[in-house]
Amino acid sequence: MSQPPSFTGERFLPVCTGEIWYEHWHRYALARQLSSHCTVLDVACGEGYGAAMVAETAYQVVGVDLSVEVIQHAKNNYRHHANLQFVTASCECLPFSDASFDLAISFETIEHIEKQKEFISELTRVLRPDGVLILSSPNKRLYSDAHDYHNEFHVRELYRNELEELLRVSFPHIFWLGQKLLFHSAIWPENQACVMTEYLVNDDRQVTVVSHPSVEPMYYIAVCSRNPSMLPTALNKLSLFSDSAEMVYQDYAKQTRRVMELDQLLKDREYLIVERDNFLSLRTQQMEEREQLIAERDALLDMRTEQLSERTEELNTRTEQLNERTGQLSERTEALNICTDHLNQHTEEIIKLNALLTLRNEQITEHERLNVALNQQIDYRASLVWWLKSPLRFLKRAIKGNS
């Protein structure tokens, strides 16, 4: 057993649960009944579960799908069926010779294809002249239009008349079946065979007996053939499909529990909303108090602004006075600089005069020294010694003059 591909919504997988499980398995259960001793082609076989189901009654089954991943999984998962093989190919270009199959199955495929005419033509080619095609397609009016729903994987959905026009070109004989998951209360003879089917419908408390379900199908199943005698004769019956585990009820129980959980969450949310409203009311009251405080603050701010304006005006006046004082100071500084210049000039003159005075003092001192020396010489000459020595000096000068 290999790991199945992940479910993306494009292909049904057996691991899916709920309504989609019943719809897909029921269709293959019908095909299984019609495939006895047939060579069967299952186009867009996907994971391969349906082809494996049909292989239990058919002579030979070939499953075809475009996905390499799902085909490889199918080969690994259903290799125990000796009469079953899987091929990777496009449904618009089937790799089989003409008239190769007795029965072709194409469930929920045509809405995924753009070239639908070419697809039907290719199915016609690989079917034998007496071959039968079983094809299903969602009813666009109910599947999409009624619910305003768009399936991202569907290229072109069809209304019933469009599907019929498409099939009639190749298959003039069609037996139409409708499929939809319905809710019924079933009453049956316990441990006995049911000899007939009774269909009761309640409409506005009026119960009537009808021959078939009166609802519009969600899916159309068309059983087609070029030979009317090859159409199965046992299709005019009501076919019911169920499972022993009653999976749909488990799914509904799960959904019911989920709804109950959501209801509890809703109640919790409502309680939280009440708390939030109370909290919001408290916040509103706090906001009103804050708005009052803001109003008081704004009044105080206006008063402070007025005081600031007065202070600013006073400051401007002081600034003007300071500018005037600064101008006066500049004038006085300039006058002081002029006086300083004059003082420097006088200082230089005083320095020069001091230098002259010092020189004069030095000269006076020298004169005084000379005067002292002169006075000393005068005193000396006035003394007796000078006069005694004077003839001797005259005589020495005369001697020097003669020599």
Q: Looking at beta carbons, which pairs linking 342-350 to residues 24 or more positions away fall under 8 Å?
A: none
Instruction: Spell out the domain ranges in the chain.
Output: 19-242, 265-398
Measured distance CA(265)–CA(273) in Å, rounded: 12
Sheet holding 127-138, edge to edge: 84-88, 60-65, 39-43, 101-107, 127-138, 219-225, 173-179
Q: CATH homologous superfamily of domain 19-242?
A: Vaccinia Virus protein VP39 (3.40.50.150)
Q: Are 9 and 38 in contact (CB under 8 A)?
A: no
Measured distance CA(204)–CA(191) in Å, rounded: 34
pTM of the shown model: 0.63
Task: Name the residue type at position 131.
Answer: G
Per-residue pLDDT of the chain (403 residues; tens, 9 = 90+): 556 666 665 566 666 666 777 888 899 999 999 999 999 999 999 889 999 999 999 999 999 999 999 899 899 999 999 999 999 999 889 999 999 999 999 999 999 999 999 999 999 999 999 999 999 999 999 989 998 988 888 999 999 999 999 999 999 999 999 999 887 778 788 888 887 788 888 887 787 888 778 788 999 999 999 999 898 887 888 888 777 777 777 777 777 788 888 888 998 899 999 999 999 999 999 999 999 999 999 999 999 999 999 999 999 999 999 999 998 998 998 889 998 888 889 888 889 988 888 888 888 888 888 888 887 777 766 666 656 666 666 677 777 776 6
